[in-house]
Structure 1
């Protein structure tokens, strides 16, 4: 609790400041269901609170790189993103690229293309971005997989009136894994790899995608591909955990022309509550929503 920055919650008129809202996962926007209260909003990173402040209350904490890498994006315009001013660093772990993101900075000390080492300063903690104030100043830290090199054209087609100022490093193209749990696991098992870590994750749903030369996920993270007959695949079946992190890619013999739900773990509530409204219904009636199809199209866009 002393590590995480609390959030401000107003649930049916009852105000609270739970530190749990700063953790990774579905920790926000509680909804009452037949199965009890379910938190429906994903927090893709962790919020680390300020430890040092000046006389006026502004945070002074240096924000540092979690691992060696290259700065691939710096957003200096706080109003251009919910992250406020943020930095993205590309890392190569076991031959694959992953992306750490540092949000809500008051200032940025690095430039795109700059190589950084672990603990190099990237900026200063702040409270830039939507819905923050000085009291809740923190750094929002993510460790992400990238989804597609076609993101910019997909975004233009999907959100015509919403300019993308961040190229491939828009948060929609980056899927955050549970970084806090990863660090705890690494303490016990220092040689643990990200594929090994994600192998322990539970599949909530699977989606079949049309075969496409633009399916970058399999190229970015070949460890996800389970079938060696991938060259003969008619389509791809991708397994996701509840947070929408892709876990596994299998060749499928089912021809599809658009993304199609093939499995949803049985549960007593509507799929929308569990999947950020990417899936609706339950049991045999479960299906991808338009929002879900739009997101899945990114993986094979423009096919």
Structure 2
């Protein structure tokens, strides 16, 4: 989509935007203007079969709070005579297409497309799932603008069925954990093929899309980086490893101090409540930390954040002793290549 055409859409009120930086504006991913109008979530969030609107939000919102939902589900405002969704889905920011899965049966996401917004610091991706179709002109490597039509909202999925009445866009915002995801995948012996490379959903961690949009709209933050900084730290973990993970190389803006030319012996990592490693501090040999290679320990944790969670905690507390939760162990294996 050309910049002139985007301005035309904006002038018509079809793609309301929120200023993200001097160079880009954040676009709502569907034509529904309820969020921009300040309406309640019932006006744009698609619930599950439970009928609870909260079940379409991000977080511990399903199965009585026991099941985590990685994204935000948005319902359509336009349907065909057969009840199928007709809403176009837009890229929320300028970026580059890094993955397209046009075969619904290859993922629980159904048909999905991933765009990396590498004009931001740190860069991050947006993922658009359950699409009825994906724009045939797009391919991996295509550049898109804020407001570029990525495809049509739908209800595609693998392994389960989404009825017409619950057609929706599933939106995720986040980071890729590793560039060597296949190595971890092969060790699990799932018995199925990884058809999505490093953009497999198991290699992604996410933040709350609606909370990000709200923070932007209310002027609490003006960049994605500012938003990350505002997220509470659930725990800080020290990993004794001289390795510089792909994650650090891919997202250098999350590193707190220079490490080039220094002998790194460990990393202190700040995790958000749902496991996003949002801050990395390299620790150096001259600091004489002690500890052996591969050792992982909890440095600090926030009991208020952990107590408020009903699922997917970063650490577990047994008595007063904090231990790394299994999900966090899995994240660390992907980040550092641990077996």
| 1:66-118 Cα distance to aligned partner (Å, 9 max, x none) | 11111111111212211111011111133442111000011111222222112
The question of whether the paired residues in 2 share the 8 Å contact of 1:266 and 1:282 is answered with: no
* Aligned residues of 1:269 and 1:282 also touching (Cα < 8 A): no
Closer/same/farther in 2, CA of residues 114 and 228 from structure 1, 3 Å limit: closer
**How far is the alpha carbon of 1:236 from its aligned partner?**
0.7
Structure 2 residue aligned with 1:154, among 166, 169, 184? 184
Q: After the TM superposition, which residues 10-159 of structure 1 pair with which residues of structure 2 at under 5 Å, given as runs?
A: 17-30=51-64, 39-109=65-135, 110-129=138-157, 130-159=160-189
Match of 2:332 in 1: 296
Compare the two structures and name the one with the higher strand fraction: 1
Q: Does 1:223 align with 2:253?
A: yes
Aligned length: 287
Contact 2:96 2:118 in 1 (8 A): no
The alpha-carbon deviation at position 188 of structure 1 amounts to 3.3
Distance 1:273 1:289 in 2: 13
Is this contact kept in 1: 2:104–2:111, CA < 8 A?
yes
* Secondary structure, counterpart of 1:7 in structure 2: coil
In the alignment, is the contact (CA less than 8 A) between 1:235 and 1:255 conserved in 2? Answer: no
C-alpha distance 282-200 of structure 1, shift in aligned 2 (>3 A): farther
Q: Is the 8 A contact 1:156 1:163 kept in 2?
A: no
**SS of the residue aligned with 1:197?**
helix
Map 1:279-290 onto structure 2 (within 5 A).
Answer: 279-290=315-326
Aligned residue number for residue 33 of structure 1: none
Report SS of the residue matched to 1:296: helix
Q: What CA distance in whole angstroms lies between the structure 2 residues aligned with 1:128 and 1:256? A: 47
Partners of 1:40 and 1:251 lie apart in 2 by: 34
SS of equivalent to 2:118: strand
After superposition, the C-alpha distances for 1:4-38 in whole angstroms (9 at most, x for unaligned) are: 001123xxxxxxx11111112221222xxxxxxxx
Distance 1:156 1:209 in 2: 24
**Residue in structure 2 matching 1:8, options 27, 49, 55:** 49
Structure 1 unaligned segments of length 5 or more: list them.
10-16, 31-38
Residue 160 of structure 1, CA deviation:
4.4
Q: 1:174 to 1:269 in 2, by over 3 A?
A: closer
Cα distance in 2 for partners of 1:272, 1:24 equals 13
> What is the CA-CA distance between 1:125 and the residue it aligns to?
0.8
Match of 2:213 in 1: 183
Distance in 2 between the 1:268 and 1:242 partners?
Answer: 7
| Contact 1:208 1:256 survives alignment (8 Å) | no
CA contact (8 A) 1:90 1:100 kept: yes
TM-score (norm 1): 0.85
SS for the counterpart of 2:43 is coil
Q: Which residue does the alignment assign to 1:247?
A: 278
Decide whether aligned partners of structure 1 residues 271 and 160 sit closer, same or farther in structure 2, where only a CA change above 3 A counts: farther
Alpha carbon RMSD of aligned pairs, Å? 2.6
